[in-house]
């Protein structure tokens, strides 16, 4: 099998890596657009969220809630059920982390949404029916009455607007960068020493930066000067 020149392999590896990042940004931008258009006009502010492009969620979007001091999961679950139309909730126990969550998956105008609450397991009767090795899942039911107190603020879908713009811009910049890398692979001298780091410069006088390690004896500079006449 023909072995590629080291500089070509390094540039192609970077191209493939950044293509994945570009694809994730573009997918996220689309998901944020759906979120802005399809989520309810207001809902309790999540502590974290994941999109499918992040690799941390099987759904288009996951809204994750952790219990704050003095907060209970059941009132929040009931409120989320009413707002998002969540009818079925299941328990999920992570064995290694010793954490317990309740979750529900709903469809909002074609967008698959997971609601995930990390709650106090003592408040629920949990029947683990499925063992996935690292975690178990099964039905849950509240054990006792809990006061219906909601302690967290509400948000609107507009909170995702800045992220949509940011991911759209990042995707556009990465398209420019990927085109540059593809053209560079076609023309770069194959004996060029492989740099430790490669990045776009986004400046008027040049487009790309190659960063090399300490060159106290000038060996790398000599090698580059032979390949690039006029290099100062």
Question: Domain locations in the chain?
Answer: 1-40+156-232, 42-154
* 102 vs 71 pLDDT, higher one: 102
The C-alpha torsion from 68 through 71 and 77 to 79, rounded to 10°, is -100
* DSSP letter, residue 130: E
Per-residue pLDDT band at 88 (split at 50, 70, 90) = very high
pLDDT at 5 over 60: yes
Strand partners, 114: 62, 105
For residues 211 and 10, give the distance between their C-alpha atoms in angstroms, rounded to a whole number.
Answer: 13
For residues 64 and 195, give the distance between their C-alpha atoms in angstroms, rounded to a whole number.
Answer: 41
pLDDT at 149 over 80: no
Two tokens, residue 198? 């490669």
Per-residue pLDDT band at 1 (split at 50, 70, 90) = very low
Work out the average pLDDT over 91-102: 94
Per-residue pLDDT band at 2 (split at 50, 70, 90) = low
pLDDT at 120 over 50: yes
Which of 127, 153, 123, 125 has its CA nearest to residue 138? Answer: 127
Q: What is the mean pLDDT of the chain?
A: 88
pLDDT at 43 over 80: yes
Euclidean distance between the first and final Cα of the chain, in Å? 38
Per cent of the chain over pLDDT 70 is 96
DSSP 106-129: EEETTEEEEEEEE--GGGEEE---
* 109 vs 24 pLDDT, higher one: 109
pLDDT at 225 over 70: yes
Work out the average pLDDT over 64-88: 92
- Residue 13's pLDDT is 95
Strand partners, 115: 63, 104
Query: What φ, ψ does residue 43 adopt, rounded to 5°?
Result: -165, 160
Q: 32 by DSSP, 3-state: which?
A: helix
Two tokens, residue 126? 């949990």
For residues 221 and 231, give the distance between their C-alpha atoms in angstroms, rounded to a whole number.
Answer: 9
pLDDT at 19 over 60: yes
**3-state SS string over 151-208?**
CCCEECHHHHHHHHHHHHHHHHHHHHHHHHHHHHHHHCCCCCCCCCEEEECCCCCCCE
* 57 vs 41 pLDDT, higher one: 41
Work out the average pLDDT over 151-176: 80
pTM above 0.85, yes or no: no
């Amino acid at each position: 099998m023909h072995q590629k020149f080291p500089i070509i392999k390094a540039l192609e590896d970077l191209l493939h890596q950044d293509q994945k990042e570009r694809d994730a940004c573009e997918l996220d931008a689309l998901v944020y657009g759906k979120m802005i258009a399809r989520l309810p006009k207001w809902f309790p502010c999540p502590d974290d969220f994941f999109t499918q492009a992040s690799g941390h969620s099987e759904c288009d979007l996951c809204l994750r809630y952790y219990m704050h001091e003095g907060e209970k999961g059941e009132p929040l679950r009931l409120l989320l059920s009413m707002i998002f139309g969540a009818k079925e909730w299941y328990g999920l126990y992570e064995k290694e982390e010793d954490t317990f969550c309740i979750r529900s998956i709903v469809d909002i105008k074609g967008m698959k949404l997971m609601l995930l609450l990390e709650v106090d397991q003592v408040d629920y009767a949990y029947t683990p029916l499925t063992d996935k090795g690292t975690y178990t899942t099964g039905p849950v039911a509240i054990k006792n009455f809990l006061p219906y107190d909601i302690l967290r603020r509400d948000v609107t879908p507009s909170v995702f607007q800045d992220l949509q713009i940011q991911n759209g811009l990042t995707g556009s910049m990465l398209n420019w960068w990927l085109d540059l890398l593809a053209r560079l692979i076609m023309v770069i001298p194959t004996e060029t020493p492989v740099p430790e780091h490669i990045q776009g410069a986004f400046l008027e006088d040049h487009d790309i930066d190659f960063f090399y390690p300490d060159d106290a004896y000038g060996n790398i500079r000599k090698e580059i000067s032979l390949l690039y006449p006029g290099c100062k």
